Amino acid sequence: MNPTTTPQGATPVDKPTLVKILRGVLGPDSVLYKQEELRVYECDGLSAYRELPLLVVLPETTTQVESVLRLCHEKGVPVVARGAGTGLSGGALPLANGVLLSLAKFNRILDVDPKNRCARVQPGVPNLAISEAAAPHGLYYAPDPSSQIACSIGGYVAENAGGVHCLKYGLTVHNLLSMEIITVDGRHLCIGAQGLDNPGYDLMALLTGSEGLLGVIVEVTVKLLPRPDCVRVLLAAFDCVEDAGNAVANIIAAGIIPAGLEMMDNPAIRAAEDFVHAGYPVDAAAILLCELDGSDSEVNHETTKVERILKASGASRVRTAKNDEERKRFWAGRKAAFPAMGRIAPDYYCMDGTIPRKHLAKVLRNISELSRQYGLPVANVFHAGDGNLHPLILYDANQSGQLQQAEQLGGKILELCVSVGGTITGEHGVGIEKINQMCVQFNEQELTQFHAVKSAFDPLGLLNPGKAIPTLRRCAEFGAMHVHGGKLPFPELERF
């Protein structure tokens, strides 16, 4: 089988020729190639990694995306797709020899269908805009990352991103119906369906979170949910982190699935409180924010239960937001936790491991030990309900060697997450940032299987190459690999 046209013998194309060809397809204003124009695209939300792309294209129709991909495929030019550039793992980091395909002009909400509770949107639409468009129908789009004002839905799907309401409402993969993608050779595929399932393989699951390696998303149909009648937030303070962790387990063991269940440790509490004055107790070792939603009676019932559990689990203080304003203030501190770090340290590096919750205390202890070893403070923000941990490593990039120290510390934290049965990334994606840690989480055969899947869509490896799935050679160079069955991994590869 030879599904794609192999550009064998395609001569390397020079930049002026490529610019000329692409301007022919897109018009002169939609191809950027001067250094000063390219500068804004040199990184995404992970600014530690920067690279100028060969050029940037800004198509506005699906046909143009097809043409760009077909032409690049013919010439053997790699393509990196980019949405709003808010990603935190360098997934949209450009390639010096590649085209950066911006979907910024795909910014329309095509349809809001209240009857079927879904919305058809272009990939460049910001996450929050979907909920705003659905609001007149009493509906909303559930996944809500901190960056929801800016982050675009295409990137959100490509990363299978989460947010603070995942435990109850799921990740992006749980909130989609269908999508249209353009393959690396410019073919248009419709996957998923308008019903609740589709014939054949679950390509929706495979494409969601594939980090732009399998296709370029040009349209998405998302599910919309009814706004709950009642929402309430409790804030509990704890004198020790372990008690807070146990409180989370106790709430869930009691049969309650909160809409959101967030934990912050003392450094994170203090930074957030200084920044937004959310009313957090700055002397607490940890706080828990527990959001309950549903009908009035359900929420009342659960609030009583949760209050009791929090106190029994050792909370020194439990407060329930008295009104909507206070509820928003409680959340404001949590949602501003990342920028709050920016006020207490010149730079911060956000990690994204997920662990089985039962290991929380141990993992936090080990993180603070690592923090001491590397001499860099770490504040912890935790999607406690689903085990997704965001240690924020504070450093100063202007101090020689600190960035490298921060990266090494981050790598150690991720390896710690894997060692307790967790994962290196819960919602931010692998991108370029965690590519080495993929070698720790997966063995050679598993990585080979991933590459085989990639080849089924993109045999030449032109879509976002170098991201998400490491080559076996890269793992051999990284050196700290998955040890499988006691055998030395990658025996056939040279050591460096």
Burial of residue 399, with CB atoms counted within 10 A of its CB: 0-12 exposed, 13-18 middle, 19 or more buried: exposed
Collapse the DSSP code of 446 into the 3-class scheme (helix H, G, I; strand E, B; otherwise coil) and give the result: helix
C-alpha 389/C-alpha 329 separation (Å) is 22
Question: Where does this chain touch another protein (CB under 8 A) — which range of 66-74, 122-130, 261-269, 351-359?
Answer: 351-359
Q: In this structure, are residues 348 and 342 in contact, taking their beta carbons and an 8 Å threshold?
A: yes
**Smallest distance from another protein to CB 109, Å:** 18
Site string for another protein, 431-470 (x = CB under 8 A): ---x---x--xx--xx--xx-xxxxxx----------xx-
Q: Which residues between 373 and 432 bind another protein (CB under 8 A)?
A: 383, 385-388, 421-430
357 binds another protein (CB under 8 A): yes
Rule CB under 8 A: is residue 298 a binding residue for another protein?
yes
**Single residue of 5, 297, 373, 399 touching another protein by CB under 8 A:** 297
- Write down the number of H helices and E strands in the chain: 17, 18
Contact 257, 168 (CB under 8 A): yes
Directed axis angle between helix 241-253 and helix 360-374, to 10°?
A: 150
Contacts of 473 (CB under 8 A, 6+ apart): 493
In the structure encoding, which two tokens stand for residue 378, read together? 């770490």
Residue 280 belongs to what H/E stretch? none
Region from 12-20, 61-69, 115-123, 488-496 binding another protein, contact rule CB under 8 A: 115-123
Contacts of 148 (CB under 8 A, 6+ apart): 126, 127, 128, 163
Dihedrals phi, psi of 107, to nearest 5 degrees:
-115, 25
Nearest-angstrom CA–CA distance, 178 and 202: 11
In the complex with another protein, the residue whose CB is nearer, 209 or 260, is 209
Count of chain residues binding another protein (CB under 8 A): 102
Q: Which of 83, 98, 124, 209 binds another protein (CB under 8 A)?
A: 209
> Does 362 sit near another protein (CB under 8 A)?
no
Query: Cα separation of 142 and 130, whole Å?
Result: 10
- Selected from 47, 295, 373, 404, the binder of another protein by CB under 8 A is 295
> Which segment (49-57, 278-286, 394-402, 482-490) binds another protein by CB under 8 A?
482-490
Nearer to another protein, 52 or 453 (CB): 453
Closest CA relative to residue 123, chosen from 58, 54, 199: 58
173 binds another protein (CB under 8 A): yes
The two tokens of residue 268 are: 């994170």
Map residue 55 onto helix, strand or coil. Answer: strand
**Residue with smaller CB distance to another protein, 60 or 458:** 458
CA distance 463 to 97: 12
Q: Interface with another protein includes 354 (CB under 8 A)?
A: yes
- Token pair listed for 195: 């019903």
Question: Does 356 engage in binding with another protein (CB under 8 A)?
Answer: yes
Q: Is 491 in the site for another protein (CB under 8 A)?
A: no
| Closest CB 267 distance from another protein, rounded Å | 23
Task: Kindly tell me which residue out of 23, 75, 105, 227 binds another protein, with binding defined by CB under 8 A.
Answer: 227
295 to 132, 231, 302, 304: CA distances (angstroms): 22, 9, 11, 14
> Residue 139, interface with another protein (CB under 8 A)?
yes
Which of residues 343 and 358 has its CB atom nearest to another protein in the complex? 358
Least distance CB 218 / another protein (angstroms)? 14
Q: Which stretch binds another protein (CB under 8 A): 13-21, 194-202, 280-288, 368-376?
A: 194-202
How far apart, in Å, are the Cα atoms of 110 and each of 114, 122, 191, 345? Answer: 13, 7, 18, 42
What is the closest distance, in whole angstroms, from the C-beta atom of residue 455 to another protein in the complex? Answer: 7
Choices 74-82, 170-178, 306-314, 338-346; region in contact with another protein by CB under 8 A: 170-178
> What residues numbered 240-269 form the site for another protein, per CB under 8 A?
249-250, 252-253, 255-257
Please report whether residue 346 would count as binding another protein according to CB under 8 A: no
DSSP lists the bridge partners of residue 287 as 237, 264
Tell me if residue 122 falls in helix, strand or coil: coil
- The answer to whether 121 and 220 are in contact (CB under 8 A) is yes
Token pair 């029994």: residue: 312
Task: Please give the structure tokens belonging to residue 8.
Answer: 């064998």
C-beta closer to another protein: residue 131 or 160: 160
Instruction: CB nearer to another protein: give 138 or 479.
Output: 138
Stretch that binds another protein, among 54-62, 99-107, 155-163, 368-376 (CB under 8 A): 155-163
Q: Which stretch binds another protein (CB under 8 A): 33-41, 186-194, 264-272, 324-332?
A: 186-194
282 touches another protein by CB under 8 A = no
Report, in Å, the least distance between residue 76 CB and another protein. Answer: 20
